[in-house]
Each structure stands twice: as structure tokens, then as C-alpha cells.
Amino acid sequence: MTYDTLPETRRRTIALAVLSCTFLGILDGTVTGTAMPRIVAQLGGSGNWYVWVVTAYLLTSTVTVPLYGRFSDLYGRRPPMLIGLGLFLAGSLASGLAPSMGALIAFRALQGVGAGALLTVSMSVVRDLYPPGRMLGMVRMQTLMAGMFIVGMLGGPIVGGVLADYASWRWAFLINLPIGLTAAAVLATLLPRARPEAAPAGRLDLAGIALLTAGLSSVLLGLSLKGLGERAWTDPSVGGTLLLGAALLAALIAVERRAAVPILPLRLFGHRAYAAIAAAGFFFQAANLPAAVFLTLYLQQVRGYSATTSGLLLLPMLAGMVLSNRLTAVTILRTTRPKPALLTGAALLVAGSAPFVTLDTTTPTPLIGACLLLIGLGSGPAMGGASIVAQNSVPRTDIGTATAGSMLTKQIGGATSLACAQWLLSHHLAVSAGAAAVTAGIATSLGWIGGLSGLLALTAVAVMPDVRITRPAAPAPAPAQPPAGSRR
């Protein structure tokens, strides 16, 4: 059975399963934020472990995104989806049982290897289930998918805080098992085995895979090491690692130009709309992620809120994302144009981020909530709108790869901004100590990184060609039937 011939009930069941997978993949990227003080207290380690528990997951999930996306175009969606889900659940179980901080970081890395599939192949499955001919279903499903990203990203701190306060931080990982196993059973039973009809024939691009993986890993590792604030940019472990990554990625370009079946087809970036939305996605993610991750530190360490309360105080950002994501879907359905919503979102993102440069130890909580609401309203359009633009600006045979590339730039944008934010925070803590230093570091990170990234996102969307989503043709009216008993 192919995607085109699926009954509607089966189509919706598969969509629900992949939405659940997306939710888990995003949730585990942020779930440790509010729970880290408890994790460090129980397993040991210093404050720097906070970064590595998050970075291990972010690094491996980022590196594997383009691999899963390309494999899904070449071999079908089913194998990479099930393999990735299996690795994610194995990492979740191991993380929940981790006996030490080192083991937890290693198991989080395994989780991330599987999460690469949950974050990208699931989006390609949704696009296969609801192609442009099913425009209403496509936009609704992209909106729901974006909603899962939003709830997962901002719900992570809330879930982690509640579990840390009232149960055990280990349940932040073990809770994945019943949801993930149910989704795996559905996908193994119902997801079509169909392979792409127009998949190119040729030798697997092993050199491209090796260069892409090593290059991205080196870049992200260098950014993470710099984010700790203990090394200069010229330190070999930082500057040398970054230069090595850049050299490997430069070599990748030369290899991909000659590969019969490239792992990262460079022709995708020949589509102006795709190149622009990939850049915009980088800056959208760079602008909003520091607020979601680091503001809980300020609320706990400076303002004295509990883990649960600090997570709940992020709800304005969540509400803004949900509302603007929904409004984006309505706008696209009515106008078939995603660009206006993306422009509005980038402008709101700047308006919400820039005021954080004035953050101090006595900033009113309602004012913080208002800024978070604006950031949420600005981030929402990029959740579903960016995916719609990316998937509708390339041929159907490249949808999985294009989706992965768009997701990859978002992941790298988030990793870059988190590393820079951690570096700024560490720099302020090295100069002085206490609540004032934490506040100054977070104010600089959220205000300058968020505001500048929002402006760059606005620029990228402004130069993007206007992409229109094709409406399905209206069915032809049925021919009138002669009255019963009439003569021919």
C-alpha cells in the first residue's frame, strides 16, 4: 500500500504516532534544564555538567538529522524512522538508570542519535501523508507538528521541574518508554513500506557521510568547549576544532559535487526560497532558544523560584507560540502565502528579545512575562511556516533531504546561540560572582543574541522569494442525472 491509497483512519493514526515521536524528541532537548540541580546533586559533578548533559543530546541529534533525511529519500521513511525510534528509546532507558554523570552524558548522546530521526523523518512522513493536493490537511498537520515542537521545547522545563520536585528526575527519561513503544507498534504495523519511485541509483556516499558527520561534530564540539568560558578562541581545543570542522565541511562540498548520490545535494541551495528559509530558520532558533534554556537559571538562582515555578513562568512564551502558530496556519490557508507571517514573526522576536538587555535582579516578573509572550508570538510562525516553505520549494523526491537541511540549520543555530550564551554567562561569572553576575550574563545573552538574531531572521525572510502554496483543484461537478423514468 502506498501513501496515496491509505484510508483516512489509517492516515490519521500514523500522523498521531509521528507527532508523538516529534514531541518526545523535542521534549528531551530541554527536559533536563530545571532538573539539573537535582541531577548534579545526586550524581555529582560541577556546574559545567549542565552544559554537557544538554550538549551531548544536541550534538548527536544535530549531526544525524541530514543522514536520516537523505536515507528516507533513498530507502523510504519506514526503516530510518523505526531505527531512530529504537535508538532513542534505548538511550532513554539507559539515561533513566544512569549511575553516574559520565554515564548519563554518554546515554544522552545515544538518545540524540535516535532523536535525529524523530525530528526530521517524522516531518517528511507528515508531508507524504498530506501532500499539496491535500492542502487543508497539510497545513493543519504542519501546525500540529509545530505545536508539538512548541509544547516539547517549552514543556520540557515544566515537566523536568515537576518531576524533580515531586518524583525523581529519572522519570524525565523513563516516561518516554510507554509513549515511544506505543508509537513504534503503530508505525511498524501501519506505516507503508513503499520506497521512492524516483530514488536515484548509485553507490552510497560514504565519503560524504564521514565528512558531514566529522565536520558538524567538530564545529559543534568547538562551540560547546568555548561555551564553557574556560578557553580562549585561540585555544587549540576551541579554535583548532572549529577550523578542523570548517576544513572538513569545505572538503564535503568538493566531494558532494562529484558524488552520484550525494548525502547533501548542493542543488537544493540553488532554490532561492529554500536557501533563504534555511538561513532564516538558523536565526529564528538562535533568537528564541537562549530564553527557553537560560531564563530558568535566572529565575531559580537570582529570584529564588522553585524548579516547578520557574518552568511555569515560561508559559507566556508557550502561549505566544501556540497562538501565533495557529494564526499562521489560518493566514496560509486564506492567502496561500507564508512570507507575511514570517516577516511579522521576526519583527515580534526582535521586540521581545531586545528589552532583556535591561534585565536586573529586580525586574518585575510581569515585564519578563510580557517579553516572553512577544518572543513566543515571534517564534510561532517559523515553526510550521518554515517547514511549509522548505518542502514546497524543492521537488517531491528531495522532500526528506530538504526537511532535514532546514532542521539542520535550526539545530546549528540553536547550538551556536547556546554556546555563545554560555560563554557570555561564564565571562561575567569570571569577572565577579553572585546574583548580579548571573543576571548580567543572562541579560547580555538574551538581549543581544536574541535581538541581533531576530534582525538577521527578518533580513533573510525579506529577501526570500514569495512562495505560494498550491490550492487543490476543485472537483468537477457531477453531470446532472435525468429524472427517474424519463425517456432518453
Above 90 in pLDDT, residue 453? Answer: yes
**Residue 289's closest CA among 405, 390, 386, 420?**
420
**Cα 132 to Cα 393: distance, rounded to the nearest angstrom:** 12
At residue 199, the pLDDT reads: 55
**Cα 361 to Cα 186: distance, rounded to the nearest angstrom:** 49
Residue 404: how many CA atoms within 13 Å on its side-chain side? 28
CATH number for the domain that contains residue 425: 1.20.1250.20
* 161 belongs to a structural domain: yes
| 280 and 406, same domain (yes or no) | yes
> Exposure pattern of 358-379 as b/e (b: 16+ CB <10 Å)?
ebeeebeeeebbebbbbbbbbb
Q: pLDDT: is 465 or 432 the higher one?
A: 465
φ, ψ for residue 357 (rounded to 5)? Answer: -65, -20
**Cα 251 to Cα 214: distance, rounded to the nearest angstrom:** 11
Above 60 in pLDDT, residue 473? Answer: no
* 178 belongs to a structural domain: yes
Residue 396: how many CA atoms within 13 Å on its side-chain side? 12
Domains in the chain, number? 3
* 200 belongs to a structural domain: no
Q: pLDDT: is 137 or 120 the higher one?
A: 120
Which of 235, 264, 293 delimits the end of a domain?
264
Q: Pull the grid cell for residue 297.
A: 537559571
At residue 133, the pLDDT reads: 63
In eight-state DSSP terms, residue 468 is: -
| 285 and 137, same domain (yes or no) | no
| 30 and 14, same domain (yes or no) | yes
Identity of the residue numbered 166 = Y
| 379 and 313, same domain (yes or no) | yes
* 488 belongs to a structural domain: no
The residue whose grid cell reads 501565533 is 324
135 pLDDT band, cuts 50/70/90, is low
| 179 and 271, same domain (yes or no) | no
At residue 45, the pLDDT reads: 63
Of 84-93, 221-230, 254-263, which gets the smallest average pLDDT?
221-230
Question: How confident is the model over 301-342, as pLDDT tens digits?
Answer: 888 888 778 878 888 988 888 888 878 877 877 888 889 999
| Mean pLDDT value of segment 175-184 | 93
| 137 and 256, same domain (yes or no) | no
At residue 486, the pLDDT reads: 46
203 pLDDT band, cuts 50/70/90, is low
| 308 and 258, same domain (yes or no) | no
Q: pLDDT: is 33 or 424 the higher one?
A: 424
At residue 122, the pLDDT reads: 84
488 pLDDT band, cuts 50/70/90, is very low
* 487 belongs to a structural domain: no
| Mean pLDDT value of segment 122-127 | 82
Above 90 in pLDDT, residue 283? Answer: yes
Which of 163, 191, 219 delimits the end of a domain?
191
Provide the 10 A C-beta neighbour count for residue 404.
Answer: 31
Q: pLDDT: is 329 or 198 the higher one?
A: 329
| Mean pLDDT value of segment 242-267 | 86
| 161 and 217, same domain (yes or no) | no
Q: Percent of the chain scored above 90 by pLDDT?
A: 20
475 pLDDT band, cuts 50/70/90, is very low
Most confident of 113-127, 162-176, 270-284, 413-427: 270-284
Above 60 in pLDDT, residue 477? Answer: no
At residue 1, the pLDDT reads: 66
| Mean pLDDT value of segment 47-69 | 78
At residue 369, the pLDDT reads: 92
438 pLDDT band, cuts 50/70/90, is confident
Q: Pull the grid cell for residue 140.
A: 493543519
Identity of the residue numbered 152 = G
Which of 264, 279, 309 delimits the end of a domain?
264
* 3-class secondary structure, 337: coil
- Per the prediction, the chain carries an average pLDDT of 81
* 305 belongs to a structural domain: yes
Q: pLDDT: is 263 or 112 the higher one?
A: 112
* 484 belongs to a structural domain: no
**Cα 251 to Cα 263: distance, rounded to the nearest angstrom:** 13
| Mean pLDDT value of segment 335-364 | 90
Q: Domain containing 128: what range?
A: 1-191
| 148 and 219, same domain (yes or no) | no
Q: pLDDT: is 132 or 447 the higher one?
A: 447
Q: pLDDT: is 269 or 97 the higher one?
A: 97
| Mean pLDDT value of segment 386-402 | 79
Kindly calculate the radius of gyration of the chain based on its CA atoms and give it in whole angstroms: 23
Most confident of 136-150, 186-200, 263-277, 427-441: 263-277
Which is it for the CA torsion 421, 427, 433, 439, positive or negative?
Answer: negative
| 324 and 257, same domain (yes or no) | no
| 41 and 187, same domain (yes or no) | yes
Q: Pull the grid cell for residue 120.
A: 526530521
87 pLDDT band, cuts 50/70/90, is very high
Residues 6+ apart with CB under 8 A from 144: 15, 19
At residue 476, the pLDDT reads: 45
| 231 and 128, same domain (yes or no) | no
* 475 belongs to a structural domain: no
